[in-house]
């Protein structure tokens, strides 16, 4: 059965390896030195650990090969009729070598595991820190599911590969060289026999690695897709059930799981074939050693103990080569994971901090858009075209428009989640591209369109805006945001919030999100459609309280509800990304047809008064 597997393996798996590599594979080979250049600095802090591992491996391999040498000497002494004392001395020496070698093996395993754990921690931190530099477009290039996979799964694969590489691959060259030299010391034919078998298995492993790389690349891509599909099904389970799409989604999951299984089976065929190949090789080598060794003993060129030593050298060498082959089959997956982590680490963020230090002009507007135009990279038309307006301290500016008019894009641009295509945005007269993102966002308190909350307590969520805020400040922010339900709760500020605020209603999440923004003292407060989940009474009460709280700052409200912005100092009307009117409510009713249509539609729907 083993021989049948070997023949089938050679024809089905190894044959295609001799075909010309595809352009993609050649590109990946070119990128490999670059990946090492990025990866090796993470090993630099642990260079002394690496040096210690090299010494331990040297001593461990030397000890492993000395044991059969001592054994052979003991057998030869016994055959010659030597005294028992000499044989016992050899046994004690062999025991000491074995104990020392075993202790070094344990120490090496501990150091390699600790090295891999620390390296994994550093890589995960590097990937996370890099993701914090990404713009929205950068992050969308990779995707949320893929970033999670790269941070967790891919780094874990690299960790495991490092441990196996240190323990199973690094000793192989040393074991092969010393084992073959020891065999040559006993007999020339034995040395050439071990040399040929070793070269054959090493070449086979290298050829197989090329084939396995493509398989594991496919596995990682399928794993990304699995994460996306599972996430969609788990988070959208209510929609799936509401439309009776359970069977369709089950089919979609079955198809992606089947693709993963087929690729995994192909990878396992490599393992099975390689195992059979190594087993047959070991058996052939042992038979050859006994055959040629028997002839050498008959001519007096070798002794019986030498045959035992050569067999043990062969077993040690081929054992290490076989284990290295199994590890090498993991290397393509590790290289695929390293390439994916490498892609994140070398990605140049779209948004780059400017070199200048922030220099505020007290007489300039807090925020100003000057002929701003923005177009997404893959879009045919501008999302915003030639937009100009300014926000002054102590005033409220509102932006209104229909769906897709570019309202929320304004908030993303002023926070530098994207950079303008043309024109410029200034903060106190200075182009925001010339100052750091940290300095820019330190001046802005932002309430996003989606009221996202983090798992923890209410106090922890509010202090996300200001870690040093006192409990009295937090209570004040809650009262202004009309979030009295927190204060009425027996646990108060220590009320538990689930991830994403799923244990709260939409209106409660929105009010807590507003309270978080008010906890931070800022020059500009941005509310991106932050009142949509509030009833008219709560909306009105919040706006009255808000007017007093932020009267020293500039306020920018982005909304679709006219009732929220009737009292704004200026209202900017957007239509298809273009300015369709600017002024107060009464002025726009007289001058802007787009604004009149918005007001009329909301009055008709009963949503125009507040």
Buried b vs exposed e over 343-371: b needs ≥16 C-beta within 10 Å?
A: ebbeeebbbebbeeebeeeeeebbbbbee
Task: Report pLDDT for 240.
Answer: 81
Using left for φ > 0, alpha for ψ between -120 and 50, and beta otherwise, residue 423 falls in: left
- Contact in structure between 91 and 135 (CB atoms under 8 Å): no
Whole-angstrom Cα distance, residue 539 to residue 554? 19
| Both structure tokens of 91 | 């046994």
Output the furthest CA–CA distance in the chain (Å, rounded): 120
Buried b vs exposed e over 108-133: b needs ≥16 C-beta within 10 Å?
A: beebbeebbebbbebbbebbeebbee
Task: Report pLDDT for 399.
Answer: 92
Task: Report pLDDT for 572.
Answer: 92
How far is residue 521 from each of residues 4, 19, 149, 459, 477, measured CA to CA in Å? 76, 65, 37, 17, 11
Task: Report pLDDT for 31.
Answer: 53
Report the half-sphere exposure of 568 (CA within 13 A, side-chain side).
29
Whole-angstrom Cα distance, residue 127 to residue 221? 18
CA angle 138, 144, 147 (to 5 degrees): 80
Task: Report pLDDT for 10.
Answer: 37
| Both structure tokens of 493 | 């500020």
Q: Which of 371, 356, 384 is nearest to 425 (CA)?
A: 371
**Read out DSSP for 471-522?**
HHHHHHHHHHTT-HHHHHSTTGGG-EE-GGGTTS-HHHHHHHHHHHHHHS--
How far is residue 411 from each of residues 147, 367, 462, 534, measured CA to CA in Å? 25, 11, 21, 21
The whole model's pTM is what? 0.65
Please, is 13 exposed, middle or buried when counting C-beta atoms within 10 Å of its C-beta (0-12, 13-18, 19+)?
buried
CA angle 307, 289, 182 (to 5 degrees): 60
A 10 A CB-CB count for 101 gives: 18
3-state secondary structure of 218: helix
How far is residue 576 from each of residues 385, 407, 513, 600, 602, measured CA to CA in Å? 9, 10, 29, 19, 19
The residue count for the chain: 610
Whole-angstrom Cα distance, residue 248 to residue 232? 13
| Both structure tokens of 366 | 């807090």
* DSSP H stretches of helix in 134-245: 136-142, 144-149, 155-164, 171-186, 188-235, 237-242
Whole-angstrom Cα distance, residue 432 to residue 354? 8
Under DSSP, the state recorded for 167 is I
Give 396's strand partners: 555
Spatial strand order of the sheet with 444-447 comes to 444-447, 524-528, 554-559, 396-401, 570-575, 578-583
3-state secondary structure of 9: helix
How far is residue 213 from each of residues 87, 217, 267, measured CA to CA in Å? 51, 6, 10
Whole-angstrom Cα distance, residue 62 to residue 73? 17
Task: Report pLDDT for 424.
Answer: 92
| 258 Cβ contact partners less than 8 Å away, ≥ 6 residues apart | none
Whole-angstrom Cα distance, residue 224 to residue 334? 15
Going from the first residue of the chain to its last (610 residues), give the mean pLDDT of each consecutive group of 10, the final group possibly shorter. 39 38 36 65 84 84 76 70 69 80 83 88 89 77 81 87 82 84 84 85 75 74 80 81 84 87 82 77 83 77 79 81 73 78 83 70 84 83 89 91 84 88 90 87 88 88 89 90 87 87 86 91 88 79 83 88 85 89 90 88 60
Dihedral sign from CA coordinates of 356, 360, 366, 372: negative
Whole-angstrom Cα distance, residue 137 to residue 415? 14
Task: Report pLDDT for 524.
Answer: 92
Whole-angstrom Cα distance, residue 156 to residue 158? 5
Give 422's strand partners: 373
């Amino acid at each position: 059965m083993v021989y049948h597997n070997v023949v089938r393996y050679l024809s089905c798996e190894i044959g295609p390896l001799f075909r010309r590599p595809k352009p993609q594979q050649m590109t990946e080979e070119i990128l490999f030195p670059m990946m090492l250049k990025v990866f090796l600095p993470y090993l630099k802090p642990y260079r002394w650990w690496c040096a210690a591992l090299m010494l331990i491996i040297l001593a461990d391999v030397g000890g492993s090969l000395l044991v059969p040498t001592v054994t052979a000497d003991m057998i030869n002494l016994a055959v010659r009729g030597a005294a028992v004392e000499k044989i016992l001395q050899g046994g004690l020496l062999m025991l000491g070598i074995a104990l020392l070698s075993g202790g070094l093996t344990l120490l090496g395993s501990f150091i390699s595991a600790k090295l891999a754990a620390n390296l994994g921690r550093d890589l995960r931190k590097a990937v996370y820190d890099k993701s914090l530099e990404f713009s929205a477009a950068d992050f969308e290039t990779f995707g949320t599911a893929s970033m999670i996979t790269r941070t967790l799964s891919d780094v874990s694969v690299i960790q495991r590969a490092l441990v196996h590489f240190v323990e199973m691959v690094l000793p192989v060259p040393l074991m092969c060289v010393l084992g073959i030299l020891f065999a040559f010391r006993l007999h020339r034919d034995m040395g050439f026999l071990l040399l040929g078998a070793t070269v054959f298995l090493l070449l086979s492993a290298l050829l197989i690695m090329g084939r396995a790389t493509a398989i594991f690349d496919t596995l990682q891509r399928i794993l990304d897709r699995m994460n996306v599909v599972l996430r969609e099904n788990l988070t959208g389970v209510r929609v799936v059930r509401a439309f009776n799409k359970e069977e369709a989604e089950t089919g979609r999951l079955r198809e992606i799981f089947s693709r993963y299984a087929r690729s995994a089976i192909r990878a396992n065929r490599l393992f099975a074939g390689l195992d059979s190949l190594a087993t047959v090789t070991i058996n052939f080598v042992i038979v050859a050693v006994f055959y040629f060794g028997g002839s050498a003993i008959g001519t007096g060129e070798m002794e019986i103990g030498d045959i035992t030593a050569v067999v043990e050298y062969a077993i040690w060498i081929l054992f290490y080569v076989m284990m290295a082959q199994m590890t090498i089959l993991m290397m393509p997956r590790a290289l695929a994971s390293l390439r994916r982590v490498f892609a994140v680490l070398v990605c140049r963020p779209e948004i780059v901090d400017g070199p200048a230090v922030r220099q505020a002009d007290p007489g300039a507007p807090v925020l100003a858009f000057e002929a701003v135009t923005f177009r997404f990279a893959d879009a045919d038309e501008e999302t915003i075209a030639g937009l100009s307006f300014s926000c002054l301290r102590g005033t409220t500016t509102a932006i209104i428009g229909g769906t897709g008019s570019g309202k929320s894009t304004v908030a993303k641009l002023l926070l530098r989640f994207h950079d303008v295509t043309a024109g410029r945005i200034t903060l106190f007269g200075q182009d925001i591209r010339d100052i750091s993102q940290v300095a820019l966002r330190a001046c802005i308190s932002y309430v996003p369109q989606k009221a996202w909350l983090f798992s923890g307590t209410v106090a922890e969520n509010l202090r996300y805006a200001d870690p040093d805020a006192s409990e009295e400040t937090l209570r004040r922010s809650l009262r202004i945001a009309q979030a009295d339900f927190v204060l009425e709760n027996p646990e108060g500020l220590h009320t538990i919030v689930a991830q994403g605020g799923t244990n709260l209603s939409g209106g409660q999440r929105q009010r807590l999100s507003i309270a978080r923004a008010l906890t931070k003292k800022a020059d500009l407060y941005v509310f991106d459609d932050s009142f949509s989940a509030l009833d008219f009474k709560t909306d009105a009460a919040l706006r009255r309280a808000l007017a007093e709280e932020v009267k020293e700052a500039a306020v920018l409200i982005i909304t679709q509800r006219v009732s929220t912005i009737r009292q704004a100092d200026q209202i900017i009307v957007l239509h298809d990304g273009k300015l369709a009117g600017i002024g107060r409510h009464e002025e726009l009713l007289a001058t802007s047809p787009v604004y009149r249509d918005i007001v009329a539609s909301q009055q008709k729907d009963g949503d125009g008064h507040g």
